[in-house]
Amino acid sequence: DTGVSQDPRHKITKRGQNVTFRCDPISEHNRLYWYRQTLGQGPEFLTYFQNEAQLEKSRLLSDRFSAERPKGSFSTLEIQRTEQGDSAMYLCASSLGTGEFQAQYFGPGTRLTVL
């Protein structure tokens, strides 16, 4: 069990560029989540996958954001036409289970800075 990993850890981009982040969950965890955290705030939910199916999306996930989990393992989060307001820490979490709530285990995050 190596924990949730995220890549890159830091990303600096110019406004209008596209960026893509990768998350590798704890092996065999079937649920994967993306959250966004801005300075001084708690994480806010963006989206959730069970295996490869995206089952829940927040209103925060505008049409510039897209997430995939093609084979039910790693996931990518893409932001198109980045804006300065997208600057935040993007956190990925995973959990194991098919029933009700399970504890979520977080990765170290990707810090995005949009200039």
Task: List residues near other proteins by CB under 8 A.
Answer: 4, 6, 31, 33, 35, 40-45, 48, 50, 55-56, 58, 91, 93, 100-101, 103-109, 111
Residue 44 beta carbon to other proteins: minimum distance, rounded to whole angstroms: 7
51: left (phi over 0), alpha (psi -120 to 50) or beta: left
Least distance (Å) from other proteins to the CB of residue 81?
Answer: 25
Residue 7 Cβ, how far from other proteins at the closest point, in Å? 13
Structure tokens at 53: 């199916």
CA dihedral 21, 23, 56, 84 (to 10 degrees): -30
